[in-house]
Structure 1
Amino acid sequence: MAQATTRAPTTETTMKAWVPRLRPPSLAALRPYLLFILLWPVAGLVIAGASWFFLVRNLIEDRQAAERQALDTTAGIVQVQAEQTRHSLALVDQLLMTIRLQWQIDGGALRLDRFRKIADPAGMPLNISIFGPNATLRLTNARGIWSREELNKVDELPFFAVQRLRAADDMYIGMPMPAAGSPARTVRFSRKLVNQDGEFSGVAVVSFDPENLVAEYDRAQLGSRGFLAAVGSDGAPRAMKWDGSSDRIGALPANLLLAMQSPRGSAIVPGREFADGVTRYVSWKALDGFPLVVVAAADQPHALALYRERESASRQTARDASVALLVFVLAGMTLSGRLALQRHRLTVAHDAYRKATEASTEGFFITAPVYGDGGRIIDFVTVDCNEQGAALAQLTRDELIGKRLSTLAGKLPVEPAAALLTQAMSTGSAEGDLEALAEGPVKHVRVKARRSGDVLAVTLRDVTLERAHMLNLERKNFEDALTGLPNRAWVGKCLPDIVSRAHARGSRLAVLFIDLDGFKAVNDTYGHAAGDELLQIVARRLKVAVRPGDRVARLGGDEFIVILENLHDNGEAAQVAARVVQAFHGGVAIAAGTATVGASVGISSCPGDAHDVDTLLRHADIAMYEVKTHGKNGYQFFDPAFYGAIRQRQQRERELQAAIDENQFVLHYQVRVCATTQRVVSLEALVRWNHPTAGLLYPDEFIPLAEETGMIVALGERVVDCVCAQIAAWSDDGCAPVPVSINVSSRQFNERDIHALFTRALARHGIPPDRVEVELTESTMIRDPERTSSHLHAMHALGIRLLVDDFGTGYSSLSMLQQLDFDMLKVDKSFTRRLGTDCQGEVLFAAIITMAHALGMKVVAEGVERPEQVEVLRRLHCDELQGYYIATPLDAKDVQAEIRRRRAAIV
């Protein structure tokens, strides 16, 4: 019996046993499948049409995106250039205004050597000339720039004639003119001079090379046919730069000049508008306060170069795909016909054959066991299979039928397959996954075997793609999409295992917490696309900087960590951190330019600094923060003392919040006196913190923290209310009415409606507006000038006087000061400190006083601490004085006694 079953039956005999003889199919049997066959060409046409439709639509969208990118690029260049050009013109205008004021004060006896250190935007000395009312050259520091012909007809030249004839008082910007005796060109900026009676007294002229009005041309962004220009309100270019290899652009198109009547904008200007026929992407921005427009243009061939390449490649790919689709449709029709015949035959196949085909659409085998001595199964033989099943063994169906499983050792995993089939013969069914050992990528096959009498119906399904999809999902879950590094989820999953492994081995590991320095500036300057590009480059540099085997991961934003295992000491971690810091010393080249970034690295080790994951990461983050607070761009190990300082700062924040809630503050007042009579003209309210345990704290000890945390807003509102309440109390007690000035922080002014705050406080305590003054720093005015102007005009209309505090330490232009209509300038104590020590400090203070008086403002000198400063300030006609030499800050009761004492002394 055993010997009889050992020999495998042949294919011919087994098929005779299971499959009946079939007759050739008739045409009627194929009729149900004709519609399916004809669907192939219809589906092919639909797919081809849809593919071309979406291709054309995507190409249109890509072109629009490329054009938007080009306009965004020129708009960014214009924004930066406009700020630079406006700054340069503001300096020139301030110089002309200063010359006019000095001319008016000195009665025409002006000396130009005062301005010899002032340079043009390129760093060269400015050419300054002054012409009298009769068009004669009175003063100049560069006589060679004026030709004899020009000097003979000065009254006809635009810079003089325009200023003499028109009533407007502003700066005139002339057309570029050839410089006398030089191939260079020059632009002349002029302002009229007036005498002390306000009558026309001549013209002051400053001139320099128009090339300095705009930055250097960037071919990488604007292309070889673009340009960068500064255009006057008359439409004529004052300065224009382009690539050295391109022809001169010439005059700007009329339609573009018409569009440029709006303050800013962008447009696609077709090639027919230009003499060279090149379409350009143009952006412009008018300069606030100056008759000049900055224009940047990128040429279309440069802007659409990448798009053209993608378009050509996409169209070629689409044509190839269409041909492939045609071949596929023809092959599909052919195969469908053959499939129809096979399916007709399958309907009359044996029961075991149907079981195999019904269980799977991928592949099937009919397998019979081969028995050895004692009835034990020693092998399996293939009775029948389909082509898909045979392909797993790299054989054809005819080659595989009749072969034993043991002969396929190099193509299939024989032992696992035999075990699965043996189990199915024993239990009736079995299921499992096997790896096909065919050449090329490994295939994963899911096998289901069912017993049918003395044979097995085996179905196979290729699950390679499913497994790959699952692995891909797992990889994406733990991979940062932008950089390809492991992400925060990976760190949360794997770092605990790494720490546990280190504990088990008794080895040392460290975590480097990396935060980029300057990343926000890159995002703000170049855009988020440039920021993403920078992060990808940073990821590559970090992987190069660390040791082989070290793990680099991105936590999010610009934060990365490096996991170092098997360390001997902290010195190894320090070496890796130093290489990370060094990796960014030379800057990072991105498409938009060179990004200047650094790396702040915090290091925490285990064991030593921490024993668990959360503490390890937190301590590394704290060490990184310490680097940030000490200048950035370096590395630092976790320091428990610094951690204590952070906790102490957090404690101080909580105490400050409690102090605001419980009103633990008191007010002191410092008098401001008239420089000539020493009469008290105003008080400045100064806040002190009456700390429950530390005693009285001065502003320097808590105001910076309040500013940084935003608590300055609530604190400022309390101060306003307390000052108004004190003024009302003084009035009820019959004290002399003296105005009180209140300092308003930049953050408080910009985050709250300050006009509404003071209006409510004045009404609540019933005091007149002229009893309150508001002090603002220069930094308050530059954030949103339009909003600032609106609020300050409203407060001025209410009757509250406005003071510029700490003048000279921030940025403010003459036009802004005049527009905002301040009443007083409080000159910073750093200027007062120099009085009596060097003459330059006196000259600078005199210029400030002259300027302020010309704008109708009084001047208060802060920080007066020596008697010689008082004498100098009186001689310079300073209006008011304030400082410790005058009086120290006093409480509400003592300051009234000081006021009465000074009044008695004057009487």
Structure 2
Amino acid sequence: MPTGVCSSSMALACAARAFRPGLDMSFRFASLRPPPLAALRPYLVFILLWPIAGLLIAGASWLFLLSSFTRDRVAAERQVLATTLKIAQDGATQTRANLGMIDQVLTIIRVQWQALDGVVKLEQFGKMADPTGAPLRISLFDSDARLLMTNANGVWSAGDLARVAQLPFFTSQQLRAADDMFIGMPLANDTRSGYTVRFSRKLLDGDGEFAGVAVVTIDPEHLIAEYDDSRLGDHGFLAAVGSDGTVRAFKLGEAFRRIQLLPPPLQRALTSSSGSAFIRGTEFGDGVGRYVGWQAVEGVPLMVLAGADQDHALAVVREREIASRQTAVGATIALLIFVLVGMGLSGRLALQRYRLTVAQDAYRKATEASTEGFFITAPVYGTDGTVVDYVTVDCNEQGAALSRHTREELIGRRVSTLTGTIPVEPAIALLGQAMAQGSAEGDIESTVRGRQTCVRIKVRRSGDVLAVTLRDVTLERAHLSNLERKNFEDALTGLPNRAWVGKCLPDGVTRAMAGNRLLAVLFIDLDGFKAVNDTFGHAAGDELLQIVARRLKVAVRPGDHVARLGGDEFIVILENLNGTGEAAQVAGRVLQAFHAGVAIGAGTASVGASIGISMCPGDAHDVDTLLRHADIAMYEVKTRGKNGYQFFDPAFYGAMRQRKQRERELQAAIAGNQFVMHYQVRVSAATQRVASLEALVRWNHPTAGMLYPDEFIPLAEETGMIVPLGELVVDTVCAQIAAWTRDGCAAVPVSINVSSRQFNERDMHALFLQSLERHGIPADRVEIELTESTMIRDPVRTSEHLQAMHALGIRLLVDDFGTGYSSLSMLQQLDFDLLKVDKSFTRRLGGDGQGEVLFTAIITMAHALGMKVVAEGVERPEQAALLAQLQCDELQGYYIASPLDAVGVQGEIRRRQAA
């Protein structure tokens, strides 16, 4: 055997050539003496680096972990403080709305009392309810504290009725000069469980003198929102506090029943109108610390408080800390073991390196450079000269370990007699292939003790012997398989993902086309998922998606594929269908799976499914078109009310394309000014003379002819094109008013409708000011009609802009009054000039009597606030006569006059002036 050292690439060949048939089979390396200490000295520094590095890593890791605990706790506390402040702000908004409703009822009662000389019919308010839906309990007392009438006798005890003159709600209204609503303290009710709060306003006679008190009594807890223990915890609270520091209403957690006195730190903090703070448990007296947020109720001496108990708020953070500490302790122990093992292995490695330096043969050099199992085998020939078996000439320790034998057991043994992790027959086949072809390679799988293993074998012939290398590739193959699974699997639900659909659906389409079979794609979008996310949080949304995935897999047939595209969108692929009916059956089962609510940790979620179905080859022959058509069919379900399934309909697709075409046409119409204005008169109910005109826009479509607002205004609102269209209308009307003025026509104001989106996305004050100056017309020739919804979105901004336009001299009208929400205080604050009552109220006139009651209340209220009333939708003469009797100021509708162009409306004005 040569004494020189072979190169690493030739080591196996050198080792194989060293063993020829006929060589001594008992060849062994000579035993080496233990190395001297001096030989190991170069490796001592490397060995000592292990404990030093382990100590540094452990220390840095613990410092980072402890600092992350602090950051997580601070972040959690900031989040819960923000949450309690948001709950308090929402509660303050709701409480303000509830108080505004009560004040509005009391104001209407007072106005009717004063206008009708003390005649009030409480049955008119029978349908009015408190925030929980229960009928309002209303009582009226005269100036001598006698109960005149009530719709809830049980709310007053005999003791209360005997001393009404001394009760705060009566004395405060009797003695105070201020004319506002008085909010009483929470009182224990003798006839009902719990507490009640009384809201009162003084009644005035025709001379404006004190004539009594109107009282609305409700349960205090109805003033504030429902208690959410999922966010505030069992020991949290939700309360409304008066300016005197007394709790007026409360909804509390399970273990904290009532706050009698606010802690001093909290009382001091409440000097600000809004904020949040942490209050220690010793301040509350029950040992529970709480994160408290507060928000003052605008215009009312009340403040809403929301408190979340500390243990509930920090539960998740503390659990993470405990788990992280346990993990860190385990990791530290593992690091210590790793250091000790590393030191031991380093010492062993030093010993092995020393021995390797004194080993001179190629075989030891080959095993030094490789971590694979290595065998040298020689063929065993039969009497006829053919190879009948193979014998192990030598091997390294790694090879012995892979075969589950010792090196001593393997040397000299025939391969056919070995048992272990490597099956014998496939191994002998590879050896035979290498003998015949010079080399062979293959993977051999086996199962040992229930564990699947895979060994990669490479065989190379060198002369009459074979050099065999073995490598365990079980983990490598498992890693590749896991990577492939992750690439095609949705991490949240475990379903196949969009990448899987893109890879496998084309194969399904190919099979369907080749086999003349039907394939269906069900595009599923969850209905109500966003509400669950917004209400319960993203964690609940993730839990819901996991449950939905399981239900979908149960609902489909065996062999069908369910995949998640992302968000709340899922795909079901159905192959080998006999007809569309089978796809419909699967879609029906999917819908049935959502009929019952979905129980999640945060509560019960109510969701449905909108399913679009496209068929191959009927609807599409390629994947992209198939998915697009399924998506379009799903969108059709959404537009028709959701929670259903729909096959792809080319007609609906055409309608969608037509809508897009109409959008483009409308955009071109605005750019090219294809619109004309018509005008409808508004007359005085008493004289029938023209009081004003309403401008109505029409679209003179190039091919479809004249289009009315209902055919394009909703599209303009939805797409945002209402803003430039509104600017065009304002400029056109102002130009027409200027033309009428130059022609000497009657000076009649013209009202222009302004939508909510226009008002909130455009500075209307600047727009009208520019148009008035551009065309040189006075501001009193223009009126603006706004719906009630416009005033609710941003009351402060609305008030500023309307006051600015009112200051110019432009009159303000509330359009479609009664169909939205507007408080009396808002109407009075914004100083509107006219209320246009919606035509739905006009249609009720002469019916069940409720129409007259509603109009009487509206007219009385409007006149008391200094506003005129216009009745819209007057279509019959009896309606006009009845409205005149009810003292309605102005009328508008087809009975009065139809909309006319600029020339026709001037003729209508002259006709009525001459009459």
Give yes or no for the alignment of 1:572 onto 2:596: no
Structure 1 segment 464-475 matched on structure 2, within 5 A: 464-475=474-485
- Between 272-281 and 471-480, report the one with greater CA deviation: 471-480
Counterpart selection for 1:293 from 274, 279, 303? 303
Structure 1 segment 626-641 matched on structure 2, within 5 A: 626-641=636-651
Q: Which residue of 2 aligns with 1:97?
A: 107
Q: Which residue of 1 aligns with 2:733?
A: 723
Query: In structure 1, what is the Cα distance between the partners aligned to 2:54 and 2:399?
Result: 29
Q: How much does 1:510 deviate?
A: 0.8
Structure 1 segment 415-814 matched on structure 2, within 5 A: 435=445, 438-445=448-455, 462-814=472-824
Q: How much does 1:304 deviate?
A: 3.6
Deviation string, structure 1 residues 809-863 (Cα, Å, up to 9, x no partner) = 1222222222322221111111111123332101101111111222222211111
Query: In structure 1, what is the Cα distance between the partners aligned to 2:533 and 2:388?
Result: 70
If the length of structure 1 is used for normalisation, what is the TM-score? 0.91
For the Cα contact (< 8 Å) 2:405–2:420, is it kept in 1? Answer: no
For the Cα contact (< 8 Å) 1:8–1:370, is it kept in 2? Answer: no
Question: Residues 190 and 395 from structure 1, CA distance in 2 versus in 1: closer, same or farther, beyond 3 angstroms?
Answer: farther
Q: Which residue of 2 aligns with 1:345?
A: 355
Q: Which residue of 2 aligns with 1:315?
A: 325
For the Cα contact (< 8 Å) 2:375–2:399, is it kept in 1? Answer: no
Query: In structure 1, what is the Cα distance between the partners aligned to 2:414 and 2:302?
Result: 91
Question: Residues 492 and 21 from structure 1, CA distance in 2 versus in 1: closer, same or farther, beyond 3 angstroms?
Answer: same
Report SS of the residue matched to 1:899.
Answer: helix
Report SS of the residue matched to 1:719.
Answer: helix
Q: How much does 1:537 deviate?
A: 2.4
Question: Residues 386 and 248 from structure 1, CA distance in 2 versus in 1: closer, same or farther, beyond 3 angstroms?
Answer: farther
- Between 773-782 and 216-225, report the one with greater CA deviation: 216-225
Q: How much does 1:441 deviate?
A: 4.1
Aligned residues: 897
Q: How much does 1:80 deviate?
A: 5.5
Q: Which residue of 1 aligns with 2:372?
A: 363
Counterpart selection for 2:421 from 386, 411, 432? 411
Question: Residues 28 and 540 from structure 1, CA distance in 2 versus in 1: closer, same or farther, beyond 3 angstroms?
Answer: same
Query: In structure 1, what is the Cα distance between the partners aligned to 2:555 and 2:529?
Result: 19
Query: In structure 1, what is the Cα distance between the partners aligned to 2:229 and 2:475?
Result: 48
For the Cα contact (< 8 Å) 1:393–1:438, is it kept in 2? Answer: no
Question: Residues 30 and 244 from structure 1, CA distance in 2 versus in 1: closer, same or farther, beyond 3 angstroms?
Answer: closer
Query: In structure 1, what is the Cα distance between the partners aligned to 2:391 and 2:278?
Result: 75
Deviation string, structure 1 residues 162-200 (Cα, Å, up to 9, x no partner) = 334445443222111123455542211112333444444
Q: Which residue of 1 aligns with 2:847?
A: 837
Query: In structure 1, what is the Cα distance between the partners aligned to 2:55 and 2:897?
Result: 94
Q: How much does 1:507 deviate?
A: 1.8
Q: How much does 1:335 deviate?
A: 2.6
Q: How much does 1:889 deviate?
A: 0.5
Question: Residues 5 and 357 from structure 1, CA distance in 2 versus in 1: closer, same or farther, beyond 3 angstroms?
Answer: closer
Report SS of the residue matched to 1:347.
Answer: helix
Name the structure, 1 or 2, with higher relative contact order (CA <8 Å, separation 6+).
2
Q: How much does 1:293 deviate?
A: 2.8
Question: Residues 353 and 793 from structure 1, CA distance in 2 versus in 1: closer, same or farther, beyond 3 angstroms?
Answer: farther
Q: Which residue of 1 aligns with 2:8?
A: none
Counterpart selection for 1:33 from 33, 36, 43? 43
Question: Residues 517 and 181 from structure 1, CA distance in 2 versus in 1: closer, same or farther, beyond 3 angstroms?
Answer: closer
Question: Residues 507 and 197 from structure 1, CA distance in 2 versus in 1: closer, same or farther, beyond 3 angstroms?
Answer: same
Report SS of the residue matched to 1:483.
Answer: coil
Query: In structure 2, what is the Cα distance between the partners aligned to 1:25 and 1:376?
Result: 48
For the Cα contact (< 8 Å) 1:282–1:295, is it kept in 2? Answer: yes
Report the residue type matching 1:592 in the other structure.
A
Q: Which residue of 1 aligns with 2:252?
A: 242
Counterpart selection for 1:325 from 320, 330, 335? 335
For the Cα contact (< 8 Å) 1:8–1:402, is it kept in 2? Answer: no
Q: How much does 1:491 deviate?
A: 1.4
Q: Which residue of 2 aligns with 1:24?
A: 34
Report the residue type matching 2:704 in the other structure.
A
Query: In structure 2, what is the Cα distance between the partners aligned to 1:814 and 1:753?
Result: 25
Report SS of the residue matched to 2:34.
Answer: coil
Deviation string, structure 1 residues 209-268 (Cα, Å, up to 9, x no partner) = 223334554545433322232222322111223345555443222222333444444433
Question: Structure 1 vs Structure 2: percent identity of aligned residues?
Answer: 73
If the length of structure 2 is used for normalisation, what is the TM-score? 0.90
Q: How much does 1:64 deviate?
A: 4.4
Deviation string, structure 1 residues 31-81 (Cα, Å, up to 9, x no partner) = 111112212222222233233334333444444455456556645654664
Q: Which residue of 2 aligns with 1:302?
A: 312
Structure 1: gaps spanning 5 or more residues = none
Query: In structure 2, what is the Cα distance between the partners aligned to 1:764 and 1:461?
Result: 89
For the Cα contact (< 8 Å) 2:815–2:838, is it kept in 1? Answer: yes
Structure 2: gaps spanning 5 or more residues = 1-17
For the Cα contact (< 8 Å) 1:284–1:293, is it kept in 2? Answer: yes
For the Cα contact (< 8 Å) 1:703–1:712, is it kept in 2? Answer: yes
Counterpart selection for 2:911 from 884, 901, 904? 901
- Between 200-209 and 717-726, report the one with greater CA deviation: 200-209
Query: In structure 2, what is the Cα distance between the partners aligned to 1:383 and 1:69?
Result: 71
The alignment's C-alpha RMSD in Å is 3.1
Report the residue type matching 2:343 in the other structure.
M
Structure 1 segment 145-184 matched on structure 2, within 5 A: 145-147=155-157, 150-151=160-161, 154-182=164-192, 184=194
For the Cα contact (< 8 Å) 1:365–1:459, is it kept in 2? Answer: yes
- Between 852-861 and 179-188, report the one with greater CA deviation: 179-188
Query: In structure 1, what is the Cα distance between the partners aligned to 2:295 and 2:910?
Result: 58
Q: Which residue of 2 aligns with 1:268?
A: 278
Report the residue type matching 1:895 in the other structure.
V
Counterpart selection for 1:892 from 902, 905, 908? 902
Query: In structure 2, what is the Cα distance between the partners aligned to 1:201 and 1:849?
Result: 23
Question: Residues 39 and 143 from structure 1, CA distance in 2 versus in 1: closer, same or farther, beyond 3 angstroms?
Answer: same
Give yes or no for the alignment of 1:224 onto 2:234: yes
Question: Residues 412 and 292 from structure 1, CA distance in 2 versus in 1: closer, same or farther, beyond 3 angstroms?
Answer: same
Report SS of the residue matched to 1:903.
Answer: helix
Q: How much does 1:883 deviate?
A: 0.8
Report the residue type matching 2:329 in the other structure.
R
Q: How much does 1:160 deviate?
A: 2.9
Question: Residues 466 and 141 from structure 1, CA distance in 2 versus in 1: closer, same or farther, beyond 3 angstroms?
Answer: same
Question: Residues 426 and 88 from structure 1, CA distance in 2 versus in 1: closer, same or farther, beyond 3 angstroms?
Answer: same
Report SS of the residue matched to 1:669.
Answer: strand
Deviation string, structure 1 residues 847-884 (Cα, Å, up to 9, x no partner) = 11111222222211111111111111112221211111
Deviation string, structure 1 residues 874-902 (Cα, Å, up to 9, x no partner) = 12221211111111111111111111222
Q: Which residue of 1 aligns with 2:125?
A: 115
- Between 574-583 and 50-59, report the one with greater CA deviation: 50-59
Report SS of the residue matched to 1:188.
Answer: strand
Question: Residues 143 and 628 from structure 1, CA distance in 2 versus in 1: closer, same or farther, beyond 3 angstroms?
Answer: closer
For the Cα contact (< 8 Å) 2:490–2:564, is it kept in 1? Answer: yes
Structure 1 segment 72-87 matched on structure 2, within 5 A: 74=84, 77-78=87-88, 81-82=91-92, 84-87=94-97
For the Cα contact (< 8 Å) 1:381–1:403, is it kept in 2? Answer: yes
For the Cα contact (< 8 Å) 1:353–1:457, is it kept in 2? Answer: no
Question: Residues 472 and 773 from structure 1, CA distance in 2 versus in 1: closer, same or farther, beyond 3 angstroms?
Answer: farther
- Between 670-679 and 406-415, report the one with greater CA deviation: 406-415
- Between 539-548 and 64-73, report the one with greater CA deviation: 64-73
- Between 59-68 and 421-430, report the one with greater CA deviation: 421-430
For the Cα contact (< 8 Å) 1:363–1:385, is it kept in 2? Answer: no
